[in-house]
Amino acid sequence: GQQVMQIPQYQHVQEGEDFTTYCNSSTTLSNIQWYKQRPGGHPVFLIQLVKSGEVKKQKRLTFQFGEAKKNSSLHITATQTTDVGTYFCAGTGTASKLTFGTGTRLQVTL
């Protein structure tokens, strides 16, 4: 079945440092979504990418969809303590099924 892996599993940065999480799918995806889950909270939709090589920005967050549509990345510039949480990618494969990635937990300290 379709598998979506994320690396790293966990990252601890100091406020102001950059952060990147990578998402890799075992199959080609028709689209990729990103969600953020704050500690004690629930996943909240951030963005969706559809086109090969697509790049989208939301303030300090940059999302990229790979050319082969099998991988994606989320980059946060100059992290803040409000960025703390777990970031999940979720990809839609050929069966139109949305599969969530394993998640990357981000900790930011002052």
8 binding another protein? (CB under 8 A): no
The C-alpha atoms of residue 40 and residue 55 are separated, in whole angstroms, by: 30
Q: Based on the shown chain and the rule CB under 8 A, indicate whether residue 48 belongs to the binding site for another protein.
A: yes
Q: Is 30 in the site for another protein (CB under 8 A)?
A: yes
C-alpha 74/C-alpha 10 separation (Å) is 14
Contact (Cβ atoms closer than 8 angstroms) between residue 55 and residue 63: yes
Contact partners, residue 38, CB within 8 Å, separation at least 6: 44, 84, 85
The least distance separating another protein from the CB of residue 102, rounded to whole angstroms, comes to 4
By CB under 8 A, is residue 58 in contact with another protein? no
Task: Establish if 88 lies at the interface with another protein (CB under 8 A).
Answer: yes
Q: Which residues bind another protein (CB under 8 A)?
A: 30-31, 33, 41-45, 48, 50, 88, 90, 92, 96-103
